[in-house]
Amino acid sequence: MPAASCWLLYSAKDLAVNGDFATLVRRQGEKRGLLIEPVTLEELRLGVHADGTPFCLRNHVPDRPSMVLSRQRHTLVSRHFEAMGVPVYNNARVCELCNDKRQTHQFLRGLPMPETLFLRPDQVSPPAGLPYPLVLKPACSHGGDRVTLVRDAEEWRLAASGILPEPAIQQSVVSDAGRDLRVYVVFGQIVAGVMRTAREGIVSNFKLGGRAELHVLTPAERSLAQRVIRRVEEAGAPLCLAGVDMLYEHGQPVVGEVEDVVGSRMLYQASNIDIVSLFLDGICDHLSKEK
């Protein structure tokens, strides 16, 4: 039986800094009969024929994989492959809900989270509503990019000038700022939790110097993570490989965000859990059930 071809889809910029992860995925895929090949968005051209049939060109040649492991953040791209009949993990609905923090918070309404305002692209002064200090950040970024603690209107304008007119949000500062929990999820199941702590300030991202330790989930943390997992799954957005991030308000977990293209470097450093193997085993199980 020939190996199933699979594209591990990145932007060229992201692949350049995630080569070790891509190599790990490829090697573990070979053990499972999956021929996994890193492919970049820049190699592809997507479109539709005159009869409305979607197509994909790779380096100007028609091509299509048997599946896509998506490590890119463009809903249009994921949806296009799905329209071609190609399974995408995580799917386009996950991409849509998780890569715009405005949509994430809007969708997870009713769950505990920091108070959040969606900023207008033409916003030139701080909107009334949240007292200082507050957090300003892009709505569609990741990895702690331009997450800024602002203490007054002057700092707000300086931070906003580095983001707007990109989509942006401002949030209240949680009482326990500077630490957060990432709950790793594989095919709807909680795999592990990693507590991240900032060395200074409020940004605890591992790649920005935050400390990471394996964490045993409390009943409250597990319950909140499961509520998020169920909510998105019921909306057609199963979390095949993702992270549910939590902040803390007076010791109680609140939803921070949901990571579609979740990083695993800190999990490998903090534990012996091989989340790539768990993910690929889940894909093989899913494919066998589809036959």
Summarize pLDDT for 148-165 with one digit per residue, the tens.
999 999 999 999 999 999
Diameter of the chain by CA atoms?
Answer: 64
**pLDDT for residue 203:** 66
Per-residue pLDDT, 1: 37
Which residue positions in the chain have pLDDT lower than 70? 1-4, 200-210, 290-291
| Pick from 266, 262, 257, 259: nearest CA to 279 | 262
258/191 Cα distance (integer angstroms): 15
Q: What is the pTM of this model?
A: 0.92
Would you state the pLDDT for residue 2?
44
pLDDT at residue 267, as a whole number: 96
Tens-place pLDDT, residues 59-84:
999 999 999 999 999 999 999 999 99
Q: How does pLDDT run across 43-59, given as a tens digit for each residue?
A: 999 999 999 999 999 99
Amino acid letter, residue 243: G
User: How far does Cα 78 stand from its chain's mean position?
Assistant: 14
